[in-house]
Copies of this chain bind each other. A is one copy, B any other.
Amino acid sequence: MPEKRTYGQACPIAHSLDLVGERWALLVVRELRLGPRRYGDLQAALPGIGPSVLSQRLRDLEAVGILRKRGKEYGLTEWGAELDPVFRALAHWGVRSPVVPLEGAVGTDSMFLGLRTFFGSRDPQWTGSYEFRLDRDVYRVEVREGELVSLWRGRSGEPAAVVVETDDATMGELFGGALTLAGAVESERAAVAGDVSDAQRLLDASPLSAVR
Give the B-binding residues of A (Cβ under 8 A): 7-17, 19, 21, 23, 26-27, 30, 47-48, 64-65, 79, 82-83, 85-99, 102-106, 110, 113
Contacts and interface: CB of A to CB of B under 8 A. Distances in A.
Contacts of A8: 47-48, 104
Q: Of A10, A87, A90, which is in contact with the most chain B CB atoms at under 10 Å from its CB?
A: A90
B90 A86 contact: yes
A19 B99 contact: yes
Contact of A13 (B15, B82, B91): B91
Given A82-B96, A85-B92, A98-B79, A27 B48 contact: no
A89 B79 contact: no
Contacts of A17: 26-27, 90
A94 B10 CA distance: 11
A93 B11 contact: no
A87 B13 contact: yes
